[in-house]
Amino acid sequence: MADVSRVPLNIAGRLVVWVSMIGALIPLLFMVLTSIKPSGDAQTIPPKWVFRPTLEHYAAVFGGETSSSQAFLPLLVHSALVAAASTALSILVGVPAAYALARVRFTGRKFLSTWILSTIMFPPIVAAIPVFVLAGQLQLIDTYPILIIPYTAFNLPMVVWLLRSVIAQIPADIEEAARVDGCSRIGVIARMTLPLAVPGIVAAAVLSMILCWNEFLFALTLTRADVKTAPVGVNEFTGMFGTQWGNLTAASTAIVAPILVMTFLLRRRLISGLTMGAVK
Amino acid sequence: MRRRDFLKLAAATSGAAVFGGVLAPRTAQAASKPQMLNLLYATAEADSEAVKLVLPDFASKFGIKLNLETYPYAALQQKVFAELAASSPHYDIMIIDTPWMPALTRKLEPLTSYLKDPKYNDVTDPNLTDFIPAAFYDSAVYQTAKSFMHFPGSPTEVDAAQIAKQGFEIFGLPIQSNVLTLAYRKDLFDNPQEQQAFQSRYGKQLKVPETWDDFVPMAEFFTRPDKRLYGTTLMPGTGDWATDDFKTLLACWGGDGHLVSDDFRFSFDSPAGIEALTFYADLIQKRKVTPPGVTSFSWDDVSATFNSGLTAMAMNYHDMKLNPDVKGEVAYAMVPKKVSYGPHFGTWILSINKFAKNKEWAYRAITWLTSSDTQVKMLQKQLHPTRVSVYRQAVSDPALQKDFANFYEVLGKSLGVGVGRARLSNYSDVSKAIAVAVNNAATGSQTPQAALDAAASQIKGMIKQAGYPIANG
Amino acid sequence: MAKAAITRPTPTAEWAPSPQEAKKSIRSDMALGWSLVAPALVILLLMTIAPALYLLQASFFNFTLLNPDLKRFVGLDNYVQVFTDPTIRNGFFVTLLFVAVSVTIELLLGLGLACALAPRSLGNNLASTVLLLPFAVTPVVSALIWRELLNPNYGWVDYYLQRAGLIHRPIEWLSSAPTAWVAMVSLDVWQWTPFVALILMAGLQGLPQESKEAAAVDGATVWQTFWHVTLPQLRPFIAIAVLLRVVEAFKTFGTVQILTGGGPGRSTELINLTLYRVGLQDFQIGAAAAVGIVFLILLSFIVSQLLQVLGRNTELLH
């Protein structure tokens, strides 16, 4: 009897799911389709669904033959370098911090924990202005560190939060037992705790990579040509002389593809990492 | 000798060496040529392709490598301002857009002394009188301290002596000029059926409009939504382009197209301004001669729309190229007038960084780059020239006529009557306020009068904040 | 070793030092604790407190980056401007409204999706993977795509809506405030609902079945079970999702900058866009600083209130 009343709800549920899936996919479909349409077919009414696919836009974008100020491929490289470096730094710095907050009893721990997590609400634009002024004075504009350090700072609260719950979930008994057996504290951490925390560390790293890769404001403000990242570059396909839709969508697909793949492969880890904080 | 004397001699010698060393490089530097000059430039907005074209010529002429770095507009503006604020010597030459100049007069090297000294004009004769005077005075001539002042009067020729006499300086040499021009579908206007239909409907001849009164029926005539054709595009999106559209019309209606005069009087909320904005808004709201979505249009939308054949006319700052599937022909005309012409214009100039190390060579570079011969060569990449002689050549060049119809002729004529901007250090703020007003009037969310009055009260505050005096009334 | 140190396994575990080691270990734990946290702390301080302090002192001056020599002390003038300038007030209002509307929609939609997708099945697994894709799309890219999809002359949305007979003339999305808001909010919803849905889904999947079954046995309807049993248990997850979304929504910049530029008029000008324009395009550092400080204070207040409301019965931060 309870089951009968479920049927309309189930139908509604299925409908919501299907509509959401279609809604989720349409913009991506548009992006990919337009990137393989010949230029003349990109903006037509009615929209063309039958056309001769071409890879000319990808060739143009990767070959540097667009009318943008710069070739696109180096921008992807810049993005990758910045994301990798910032993620490495976040993990390097975040793991010890998370360990301390989860395991080590010390005065001020609770306060630190709260404060570190609260920094997530600091709007980047507010930090961008002083950083811009200072970076200008120190000739740091358009250098790698000027992106890497802020990105690390933006992602640390998330990373620390995630890693803290991961480490806290590892039973202390394991460490206790190893200590009793005579292991040094560092040894315990390195050989017992960290390996068990690897799944969580991976989740944190993936999250950090995604956030760095997609970042726009700081990259827009603090880079010119040497370190310009892909999101800034893709925005330049629109300008005074119209929008090159083929090139824009090809570049967009190139930006989005790696993240889509990463997200797909690691979705479970990501979600479990983010929600661990909710469980006491 | 004794120790003390030895020390004294050593001190004197080293002092002399240091002293000489300090002097020596300077004199040596003045004579020595740098290996490289750094040029900070825009992209398509200032036709960087044209500059790239002449880089080899520069290298062979001067034996110096000209290092061209291009940035799109917003990034370029930030870069220019950031570099100059940090007094960085990295870029010898920078391209400066007109609205940026008032804030930068203390950071750029005035050219007056260089222009007078034959030593620096050995390679190229700057030939100032060949520059289009209206564009030159609007973009390159400023008072260092009171940078909000325009050079008085409308001189018919560039006169360096007069400039100095009035207490102004020349801060750069113009390289690419932009002015609002009207592009139209010649094939539609020349089509006999269209001409007949127009004649029978309006009793007038169908030809490219000269006045705004002529413009309206023609725009209405070509507005056929079911055939996906509209009369014209406009640019009322919230951005500088809306301000520029409006100030053009304001000047056409007899108002001061600078929006704010040198004594800080507002012209935009005058009766002329309200009339002009009402006309503009009516085109969109009442007469509906514009395509859907026009109220968010900016430069790129105008290009996209006209080039895809959606409108019969368009107003923009460069030549238009129809998409391959649109079988048509483009020709150009001056933006219509009402009481007078008043197309918005702005010119890019090449300036010397005040903190650069190779200023004399930078000066030689910019005189060469803006010289008549170089500009003629750069026409191959559709440079918008800044010299009268180059326009004469462009207009009589059959190859250019074939590709661009009468674009250069119209460009040259329009530059002669162009109207520039107010020279406020916070111009972008003021421009935004006007753009918002224009956009609100265009969407119908405010009446033109209310929109302009709101802008006026805001701009009054901005002027005050920037430290300028408030005008009475 | 003291017996007190070996306790039953707990999810959050810490060392309990023996009485003998207590004094020594407390001091060394202090050193250890702080030194482990120090690097992270330094980086965070560098990007939060340090800029905030700079802005605080800058906010009392009329200071533009281009003519630093014209810098002069103006006391509270910049702050007065923040509270009296209609454009800045508009920015705050638009931002608050945007966050409230977007997060609410995302929560409701996300909850619905989560409930529909919670039962484990291949189909649901596939669906949740597909739904996660928008989360991964670079915000800049999604804004550019949105703009073109909503183009009244060439976009898919107006074309197919007309074909379906739902509208007769193309909607000029970015030309009027209400439709521009729909565009702005829908973009945020598209991008972030999956995120919310997946957090809630994880929560739903982790819930004990017994309480639901008990309620069913007692004769509760589906709705009653949901409202009285499921939702309260989901509370920590809802709290996390809402908190994360609210914080991130306040930071929105790239998508709106590209989609609407703040227009039409200033109807979608988030305070972040205002800050960007005043601070990084007009280089009015002093004025921007005052806006930034006020924004920071406002955010701290809102988030702390939110934490209080959401944090009951859940230890979000511990």
Q: Is the pLDDT of residue A69 over 70?
A: no
* Both structure tokens of A260: 């889509």
Higher-pLDDT residue of A4, C60: C60
pLDDT(A209) > 80 = yes
pLDDT for A51:
85
C238 located within any domain: yes
**Tokens encoding B208:** 């490219």
**Cβ separation of B238 and C284 shorter than 8 Å?**
no
Q: What is the value of pTM for the model shown? A: 0.83
Closest to A129 (Cβ–Cβ): which among C11, C194, C279? C279
Mean pLDDT of chain C: 84
pLDDT above 80: residue C314: no
Q: What is the pLDDT of residues B108-161, one digit of tens each?
A: 999 999 998 999 998 899 999 999 999 999 999 999 988 889 999 888 899 999
A137 vs B: CB within 8 A = yes
**Which of B73, B304, B323 comes nearest A243 by C-beta?**
B304
Q: What is the pLDDT of residue B13?
A: 52
Q: A-chain residues within 8 Å CB-CB of C239? A: 278
Considering only A243-247, C85-89, C113-117, which range has the smallest mean pLDDT?
A243-247
- Shortest distance between the Cα of C265 and any Cα of chain B, in A, equals 5
C246 lies in some domain = yes
pLDDT value of position B177: 93
Contact residues on chain C for A92, CB-CB shorter than 8 A: 39
Indicate the range of A170-184, B10-24, B209-223, C157-171 predicted with least confidence: B10-24
| Distance in Å, alpha carbon of C176 to nearest chain A alpha carbon | 22
Q: Tokens 């202005």 map to which residue? A: A129
> Are the C-beta atoms of C148 and A238 separated by less than 8 Å?
no
Find, among A154, A185, A161, the residue nearest to A274 by Cα: A161
Q: What is the mean pLDDT of chain B?
A: 88
Q: Among C161, C174, C270, C282, pick the best mutation site for testing chain B contact (most B Cβ within 10 A).
A: C282
Residues in chain C with CB shorter than 8 Å from the CB of B147 are none
- Tell me, yes or no, if B303 comes closer than 8 A to chain A by beta carbon: yes
For residues A120-139, average pLDDT: 88
Q: Is residue C282 part of a domain?
A: yes
Nearest to B276 by CA among B431, B436, B438, B429: B438
When divided into structural domains, chain C yields a total of 1
Residue B223 pLDDT: 95
Least confident window among A25-29, A259-263, B445-449: A259-263
Q: Cα-atom radius of gyration of chain C, to the nearest Å?
A: 25
Is residue A190 scored above 80 in pLDDT?
A: no
Residue C38 lies inside a defined structural domain of this protein: no
C6 within domain boundaries: no
Q: Which two tokens stand for residue C151?
A: 């183009």
Q: What's the average model confidence in pLDDT over C241-252?
A: 92
Residues C114, C168 contacting (CB under 8 angstroms): no
What does the pLDDT look like over A222-241, one tens digit per residue? 887 789 999 988 887 776 56
Whether the pLDDT of residue B92 is over 90: the answer is yes
Domain containing C125 — which CATH number? 1.10.3720.10
Report the b/e string of A108-134 with b at 16+ CB within 10 A. ebeebbebbbbbbbbbbbbbbbbbbbe
Lowest mean pLDDT across A8-22, B345-359, B415-429, C138-152: A8-22
Phi and psi, residue C170, nearest 5°: -60, 140
pLDDT band at C101 (very low <50, low <70, confident <90, very high): very high
Identify the pLDDT of residue C288: 92
8 Å CB contact of B300 and A243: yes
Interstrand relation of B181-185 and B311-316 (parallel, antiparallel or unpaired): antiparallel
DSSP-derived pairing of the beta strands C72-73 and C61-62 = antiparallel
Mean of pLDDT values over B327-332: 93
Answer yes or no: is C57 within a domain. Answer: no
Measured between beta carbons, which residues in chain C are less than 8 angstroms from residue A101? 37
At position B173, the amino acid (one-letter code) is: L
B72: amino acid identity, one letter: P
Is the minimum CB–CB distance between A239 and chain B shorter than 8 Å? yes
Of B95, B143, B82, B183, which is closest to residue B414 (Cα–Cα)?
A: B183
In chain B, residues with a C-beta closer than 8 Å to the C-beta of C172 are: 292-296
Chain A to chain B, count of Cβ pairs less than 8 Å apart? 58
For residue C202, pLDDT beyond 60? yes
**Quick check: C40 and A101 CB within 8 A?**
no
- pLDDT over 90 at B233, yes or no: yes
Q: What is the ipTM of this complex?
A: 0.86
Mean pLDDT of C173-197: 92
Per-residue pLDDT for A78 more than 80?
yes
Residues of B in contact with A69 (CB under 8 A): 43, 48, 70-72
Could C261 and B237 be called an inter-chain contact, meaning their C-beta atoms sit closer than 8 Å?
yes
C2 located within any domain = no
Average pLDDT value for chain A: 84
The whole domain housing C238 covers 72-317
pLDDT digits (tens, 9 = 90+) for C265-294: 889 999 999 999 888 887 888 999 999 999
In the predicted structure, residue B28 carries a pLDDT above the cut 50: no
**Given this model, what pLDDT does residue C218 score?**
79
- As a whole-number percent, the residues of chain B with pLDDT over 70 amount to 93
Average pLDDT over residues B334-363: 94
Q: How far is residue A268's CA from residue C199's CA, in Å, rounded to a whole number?
A: 11
Of A203-217, A235-249, B79-93, the least confident:
A235-249
Cα dist from A65 to A59, A62, A212, B392, whole Å: 8, 8, 27, 33
Nearest to B462 by CA among A60, A275, C85: C85
CA separation for the pair B445, B457 (Å, rounded): 18
Chains sharing 3 or more CB pairs under 8 A with chain C: A, B
- Which of A243-247, B70-74, C236-240 is predicted most confidently? C236-240
Helix (H) or strand (E) holding B230: strand B230-232
pLDDT of res. C315? 52
Alpha helices by DSSP H, A37-72: 39-42, 56-63
Q: B424 to chain A, minimum CA–CA distance in Å?
A: 22
CB contact under 8 A, A21 and C55: no
3-state secondary structure of C219: coil
Q: How far apart are alpha carbons B69 and B42 in whole angstroms? A: 8
Query: With contacts defined as CB-CB under 8 Å, which chain B residues touch A67?
Result: 43-44
Tokens coding B161: 């002596």
Residue B3 gets the label, from left (phi > 0), alpha (psi -120 to 50) or beta, of alpha
CA B208, CA B188: separation in Å to the nearest integer?
Answer: 10
Residues A133-155, mean pLDDT to the nearest whole number: 89
Instruction: Name the nearest CA neighbour of A201 among A260, A150, A276, A146.
Output: A276
Query: For A82-121, what is each residue's pLDDT tens digit?
Result: 999 999 999 999 999 998 998 888 888 888 888 888 898 8
**For residue B16, pLDDT beyond 60:** no
Which residue in the set C66, C86, C172 is minimally distant from B295, CB to CB?
A: C172
By residue count, chain A amounts to: 280
The crossing angle, in degrees rounded to 10, of helices B271-285 and B212-221 is: 10
The shortest CB-CB distance from C153 to any of B107, B293, B443 is to B293
Most confident of B168-172, B380-384, C285-289: B168-172
**B94: three-class secondary structure by DSSP:** strand
CA distance A130 to A142: 16
Position B7 confidence tier, pLDDT thresholds 50, 70, 90: low
Are B242 and B439 contacting, i.e. CB atoms less than 8 angstroms apart?
Answer: yes
- Rounded to an integer, what distance in angstroms lies between the CA atom of residue B185 and that of residue C318? 69
More confident residue, B339 or A192: B339
Count how many Cα atoms sit within 13 Å of the Cα of residue C197 in the half-sphere of its side chain: 34
* Tens-digit pLDDT profile for residues B38-68: 999 998 888 888 999 999 999 999 999 998 8
Q: Using the predicted structure, report yes or no on whether residue C18 has a pLDDT greater than 80.
A: no
Contacts of C254 in chain A (CB under 8 A): 216-217, 220, 231
DSSP per-residue codes, B364-433? HHHHHHTSHHHHHHHGGGT----BHHHHHHHHT-HHHHHHHTTHHHHHHHHHHT-B-----TTHHHHHHH
In a domain, C86, yes or no: yes
Strand order in the sheet with B330-334: B230-232, B311-316, B181-185, B330-334
Closest CB to A242 among B43, B79, B300: B300
Dist. CA B73–CA C273, nearest whole Å: 18
